Structure 1
Amino acid sequence: MASIPIAVICTSCHMFSLAFSVSGESFTCDKCREVVRLTEKILELESRIQSLFEDSKSVRTIENILDASNVSAHSSVPVENPMQLGNFVTVRRHSRRTKHHSTVPIKVSNRFAPLSDAPTEQPAESALVIGDSIVRNVNIEAPATIVTCLPGARAPDIKSNLNVLAKANRKFSKIVIHVGTNDVRLRQSEITKDNIKEVCELAKTMSDTVIFSGPLTAYRGDEIYSRLSSLNGWLSEWCLQNNIDFINNWKSFEGRPDLLKRDGLHPSWDGVSLLSRNLTHSLNNVKV
């Protein structure tokens, strides 16, 4: 016949437990026994830590004594005079030559600082093209044109870079701005429009001619296509109303997926060539 467990009270925690057999009047449950074992282990570890701490203090004391002995020994060694041997002089040295480690300069870059290092040009001769990664690799066939690419940049990033130039009293004959692709991902159309307005207004204080390069057609889903199309339509009207020249890249890239890379967003080499021609044509033909 199978034994039946009985309910007993633990003498430590006074909680009921089920047990098949109880030896004597004192009963300790499994949890209390584990607590006792862990408590003993903790006490043992604390004792070892205290012992190690005292040993480390002894080691430091011995090291201090040895250091003091070495200092006194070096100070008591008399300086030997060089021994003259014919035309040669022998010199005994008691210290090793200090090794000089060559330092390799570390190049630090900041994607928001390249404009400050741009060559200073005369306002009547220089033009600035600034934008996100879409303008990477563009080749502007126009004299004295600075192209600054800020990968991942949104309108506030472009504004921050222009602010750096504005504080340095930099002026340009023309400023071309290309931004918006990264902004539409935030799904905040009105905020994006306000940010673009602020960028253009700041650019106007630095140049008499401001040009906005419109977004490219994107083939990365219906949503981003729709948002970029809407932004392009708004830009074409707003730029006309605010005396800002507008480059309608959408018209050039529409229906041409071959002009984009496999990501459906950045221009391929053919797309870069077409974008470069659009920018060059606008820079060379807009009236200053």
Structure 2
Amino acid sequence: MPESRPHALFSFGTLLDEQVQKTLFGGPVPTAPASLAGHRTRPLRITDPAVVATSGLDVHLILERAIGSSVPGAVLRLTDEDLAAADEYEVDDYVRRRVRLSSGEGAWAYLDAKPLRPAARLVVVGDSIAYGRCDPGGGWAGRLAAAHIAADETAHRVFNLSIPGSKLTDVAAQTPPLLAPRLPDTLLVAAGINDSTDPEATARVPESLAALATAAEAQGARLVVLGPTWLDESRTADYEGLTFTEAGALALRATLRAWCAAHHVDFVDMWEPLRGRPNLLTDGLHPDAEGHALLHRRLESLTT
């Protein structure tokens, strides 16, 4: 029986080298020319001596977004064992994520481990916290937009499509048709704290995330999932007819983290910046301006 090679991995660098393939996979693997639109490469200094010894190079390439550019390379057809070996070979500056090739085929590729560093055009979707309720400055998303656009006013864009009161099922239904006109390279999903009030809604989170992942990949965008923020349940036991509890929010957080880990999707934990700081929540749930500034600082760490 022929060996199963279920994985398509796009490579543009040292994984195409014959010696590297011999070291990692035991020999050459089936390869076909391919390209990745909307990207270019930049050099990355490698300090891991084992990786340098394998490739013979201390400078590799890493992808960054660039509308109108294209990166030539090839698709490698890999077994489960081959893919695990490739994961082990790549240094911590890279993570394996889904991309859509110029041909329309979906594939794995090794991208920048900091998901917002290579981003140019971001779409933000979520609920009232992502919308910026209770902060005249526009919340963490408004601060992210200001800093992002200031860094490159010509190429950078941020579109905040968050709607107060939304659950992830709403976001998954509403988002796909809104993406194409905005040409996003990154879809930032602020997973709704509203889902934590209903165990049935929490149970549907994986289905909603899968739909959003499909929508993102169809646009060639990277999916980044933000976990819930800490809440002060002493003030949210009866919040506009809903009951927000720390246990419910933590269950949602665990579900999001587990799904993202299983599907190689970026998960950003937003819990810690506000944990145990009820003075930064205007009503036990929504951060004030200082709280949003802390959340933005957490996201800012993913841009440099």
When the two structures are superposed, what TM-score results if normalisation uses the length of structure 1?
A: 0.50
What is the aligned-residue identity percentage?
25
* CA shift for structure 1 position 170: 4.5
Which position in structure 1 is the counterpart of 2:297? 277
**Structure 1: distance between partners of 2:253 and 2:194:** 14
Q: Of 242, 265, 273, which aligns to 1:252?
A: 273
Instruction: Tell me the equivalent position of 1:180.
Output: 192
Report what 1:204 is aligned to: 217
SS of residue paired to 1:142: helix
- Corresponding position of 1:155: 168
- Quote how far apart the aligned CAs of 1:208 are: 3.6
> What SS class does the counterpart of residue 176 from structure 1 fall into?
strand
Residue aligning to 1:227: 248
**Secondary structure of 2:148 counterpart:** coil
**Alignment check: 8 A CA contact 2:128 2:164 kept:** yes
Distance 2:205 2:188 in 1: 18
CA distance in 2, matches of 1:241, 1:215: 19
- Report what 1:22 is aligned to: none
Structure 1 counterpart of 2:187, which letter? I
Indicate if the aligned counterparts of 2:190 and 2:225 stay in contact, CA closer than 8 A: yes
**Structure-2 residue corresponding to 1:25:** none
Going from structure 1 to structure 2, the CA distance change for 1:153 and 1:195 (only over 3 Å counts) comes to same
CA–CA separation in structure 1 for the residues paired with 2:255 and 2:219: 24
Give the gaps of 5 or more residues in structure 1: 1-120
Structure 1 CA distance, aligned partners of 2:158 and 2:181?
18
1:216 aligns with 2:229: yes
Q: What's the CA shift for 1:216?
A: 0.5
Against the structure 1 CA distance between its residues 192 and 251, is the aligned structure 2 distance closer, same or farther, given a 3 Å change threshold?
same
Q: TM-score, normalised by structure 2?
A: 0.48
Instruction: Classify 1:281/1:145 alpha carbon distance in 2 versus 1 (closer, same or farther; 3 Å).
Output: farther
Write the deviation string for residues 179-235 of structure 1: whole angstroms up to 9, x where unpaired: 221122233131233223322332232244211111011112486210111111222
Work out which structure has the larger RCO, using CA pairs closer than 8 Å and 6 or more positions apart in sequence: 2
Structure 1 residues 98-137: aligned runs within 5 Å: 125-135=120-130, 136=132, 137=138
More strand per residue: 2
| Maintained 8 Å contact 2:230/2:246 | yes
Residue identity matched to 1:228: A
Question: How big is each residue's C-alpha offset from its partner over 1:15-58, in whole Å with a ceiling of 9 and x where there is no partner?
Answer: xxxxxxxxxxxxxxxxxxxxxxxxxxxxxxxxxxxxxxxxxxxx
- The 2-side partners of 1:154 and 1:182 are apart by 6
SS in 2 for 1:172: coil
CA RMSD, 1 decimal: 2.5
| Match status 1:241 vs 2:254 | no
Structure 2 counterpart of 1:270, one-letter code: E
Which has a greater percent of helix? 1
Runs of 4+ in structure 1 deviating by more than 6 angstroms, as ranges, are none
